[in-house]
Amino acid sequence: MSSLKIGIAQLNPIVGDLAGNAARILESAIEAKQFGVDLLLTPELSLCGYPPRDLLLNPGFIEEMSKQLADLARQLPENLSVLVGFAGNNPRSILAGEKPLFNSTALLNSQGIQEVFHKRLLPTYDVFDENRYFASGKESHYFHLHDLKIGVTICEDVWNDEEFWGKRQYAVDPIADLAALNVDLIVNLSASPYSIRKQILREDLLAHSAKRYQIPIAYVNQVGGNDDLIFDGHSVAFNRQGEVIYRAPGFTSSLEILEFENDFSPASLYPIPETEEEEIYRALVLGVRDYTEKCGFKKAILGLSGGIDSSLVASITTDALGRENVLGVMMPSPYSSEGSITDALALVHNLGIQCEKLAIQEAMTAYDRLLEPLFAGTSFGVAEENLQSRIRGNLLMALANKFGHLLLSTGNKSEMAVGYCTLYGDMNGGLAVIADVPKTRVYSLCHWLNRQKEIIPPNVLTKAPSAELKPDQKDQDSLPPYEILDEILDRLIEQHQSSRQIIEAGFDPETVRKVVKLVKNAEFKRKQAPPGLKISDRAFGTGWRMPIASRWS
């Protein structure tokens, strides 16, 4: 059997940047050719970036993509084949009433487009909405290279092994169809978003398929952050026995060369992060860096309260952008404790970031005076408390606008779930960094950060959480302890359990009913929140489509 050198280009595209993405692919192709590569793999929709969403509804965008694809082919080095993901027109759309596009992969060489393969399985769960744009490919295909039959699949096409799942998710199984065609190798071009420990699931699934059909599999995944989604890379290859023989580094671009002759020869095997905390932290750093850079910002600003949430976000942002590109702003009120100010200053020292202080008492007094005629005869309450947060939000937005910085909000998932956050206050911002990180996980991440040296001040880790909007306020005054709250939220949001099921699991009925009501009532806030980086299987973002005006209970 012929031998083959395969390059796996784990790329970080920018959605919509057709010329830029083509240049990245060409750069990888030129580098791969220097190592004698015969076939270069790039991720799903690598030419336009994933997910392109409603850019796909623009005919001009599709037309330009087609031109870029043809231009890219002409520029490729000779005797190199490249698989490039793109969105192409469906000629059957008018006659057959199908969607106008395919999610496709083109086999290119310097002579032009040689073959085109269409994605067969189109996911519509969680963040995916591919039936909105694409028609399904009708059959599985392969191409010949060096006398080898190489089967092509795109992302979801490998996620339908009924033996692995215990059931079929779709009516057809492209992997089984390619096995029936006696292919020598299966390649999969993916843009698979990150969630905690998803790589372990990917590898278990792909290993099972490779071993079941005795066919080697090479899998290339996109890397980088696009809006709320993070792509972790971790491209892999498996031999016929289902053993992983190559794994790309996570959360960074890479190019690796694999030797194939009847089977893969062992190659680099970069480790999966040892702990969930390391994995999550690296994902969030990548998400902040790419969101900032791809949106055209150079620096970021955030409020520093001396609390654990803003401390974690400040650390993530510093690692993402560099200490010289982060501005923290302290905005103490009469209710801010001296310890909070001291803790914020200690964090600033540990991180080496710039810090400014804007005391808000004068602004609070002005608001109180302005509202006094209308608030007369009422008692101090949530409205007055929230004024402090909104004053801070206004100041941060003013600074962000003035200096062109990206404002980062610092609320966690527990707060977002139950509405323990203020519209037009602490929810202000262009990106919610830890909006998918529960409060208990915030603590574990901060402890992980401090494993070798102090980054998060010790007092931040031990003091009771507080918004400090009134004297001696504690989060637990109005919320269950976070250990209980987060478990209820996990069952409700991640596991889709009913109130009855949660109560039957041993939780206090009154507490459960209160939490469920809070989650429902906070939906209008979440709809107005900045995009939050997704790290779980059920985030308050693209994949969360709950109604605001409803009577669900």
pLDDT of residue 467: 62
Helix 509-521 and helix 482-489, axial crossing angle in degrees, nearest 10:
70
Place of tokens 């990106």: 431
Is 499 annotated in some ligand binding site?
Answer: no
Radius of gyration of the chain from its Cα atoms, rounded to whole angstroms = 26
pLDDT of residue 470: 59
Is 386 annotated in some ligand binding site?
Answer: yes
- Tens digit of each residue's pLDDT, the chain (553 residues): 578 999 999 999 999 999 999 999 999 999 999 999 999 999 999 999 999 999 999 999 999 999 999 999 999 999 999 999 999 999 887 677 889 999 999 999 999 999 999 999 999 999 999 999 999 999 999 999 999 999 999 999 999 999 999 998 899 999 999 999 999 999 999 999 999 999 999 999 999 999 999 999 999 999 999 999 999 999 999 999 999 999 999 999 999 999 999 899 989 999 999 999 999 999 999 999 999 999 999 999 999 999 999 999 999 999 999 999 999 999 998 888 887 899 999 999 999 999 999 999 999 999 999 999 999 999 988 899 899 999 999 999 999 999 999 999 999 999 999 999 999 999 999 999 999 999 999 999 999 999 999 999 999 999 877 665 656 667 676 789 999 999 999 999 999 999 999 999 999 999 999 999 999 999 999 999 999 999 999 999 999 999 999 887 6
Is 198 annotated in some ligand binding site?
Answer: yes
Is 381 annotated in some ligand binding site?
Answer: no
pLDDT of residue 321: 98
CA 331 and chain centroid, separation:
31
pLDDT of residue 472: 67
Token couple for 469: 């909007």
Is 305 annotated in some ligand binding site?
Answer: yes
Q: Can you tell me the distance from the alpha carbon of 519 to that of 499, in angstroms, rounded to the nearest whole number?
A: 12
pLDDT of residue 468: 55
Written as one letter, the residue type at 60 is G
- What 3-state class would DSSP assign to 72? helix
Active site positions, annotated? 44, 119, 155
pTM: 0.95
3-state helix, strand, coil in the chain (%, to 5): 40, 20, 40
- Contact present, 150 and 143 (Cβ < 8 Å): yes
For 224, phi then psi, to 5°, come to 120, 175
Q: Can you tell me the distance from the alpha carbon of 190 to that of 223, in angstroms, rounded to the nearest whole number?
A: 10
- What distances in angstroms separate CA 511 from CA 503, 518, 550, one per listed residue? 9, 11, 21
Place of tokens 């694409």: 134
Token couple for 67: 């031109």
Q: Can you tell me the distance from the alpha carbon of 159 to that of 156, in angstroms, rounded to the nearest whole number?
A: 5
User: In 10 A of CB 553, how many CB atoms?
Assistant: 8
Is 306 annotated in some ligand binding site?
Answer: yes
Is 192 annotated in some ligand binding site?
Answer: yes
Is 242 annotated in some ligand binding site?
Answer: no
Query: In terms of residues, how long is the chain?
Result: 553
Is 309 annotated in some ligand binding site?
Answer: yes
Of the candidates 542, 9, 547, the residue with the CA atom closest to the CA atom of residue 228:
542
Is 307 annotated in some ligand binding site?
Answer: yes
Is 525 annotated in some ligand binding site?
Answer: yes
For residues 345-371, b (16+ Cβ closer than 10 Å) or e, as one string?
Answer: bbbbebbebebeebebeebbeebeeee
For residues 244-277, b (16+ Cβ closer than 10 Å) or e, as one string?
Answer: bbbbbbbbebbbbbbebeebbeebeebeebeeeb
